[in-house]
Amino acid sequence: MWETEACLLDYLSSTKRACLSDRVRKSEGILAGRETVLCHGDAWYGNALVDEGHLLALLDFEDACVADPALDLAATMHLSPPGAELVLDSYLKERPTTPLLPARMESYLLVRELADSPMWCATPSMGNWRRRSASSRRF
């Protein structure tokens, strides 16, 4: 069931609403046609086993999926510096990147933030990104 009550957009000025709408539209374009790999799906420091600064293992693979590698990389951006940079540097040493990787990561950060917003909804002109009820919060 789509939420029809209070929307984040209702509380934004017209300038901020236009900015958010523009970011969502750009993100939809950036994320279309992306590469896919096996992803953890919930890569954050709470699911990492680290010893003396070295990653030993990733835990909790219940959200594993075939997706854009930027999905997992974006999740690491919440790590305290230099954690996020270390993860990205390690990733880039193992495989070549595309110029859009940072933009895709930024787009997934936007999606994650909006998905966690209890008041997110979208207008039809903003595409298919809408905040669903709490029982279907996955994106």
Cβ atoms of 113 and 23 within 8 Å: the answer is no
pLDDT at 2: 43
**CB-based contacts of 105, cutoff 8 Å, min separation 6:** 70, 73, 74, 77
* pTM for the structure as a whole: 0.68
Question: Any alpha helices (H) in the chain, and if so which ranges?
Answer: 14-31, 69-75, 83-94, 101-115
Residues 68-82 have pLDDT tens digits of 999 888 888 766 667
Give the SS3 label for residue 138: coil
- Enumerate the domain spans of the chain: 1-33+118-139, 36-97
pLDDT at 62: 93
- Token couple for 138: 């996955």
How far apart are alpha carbons 69 and 77 in whole angstroms?
13
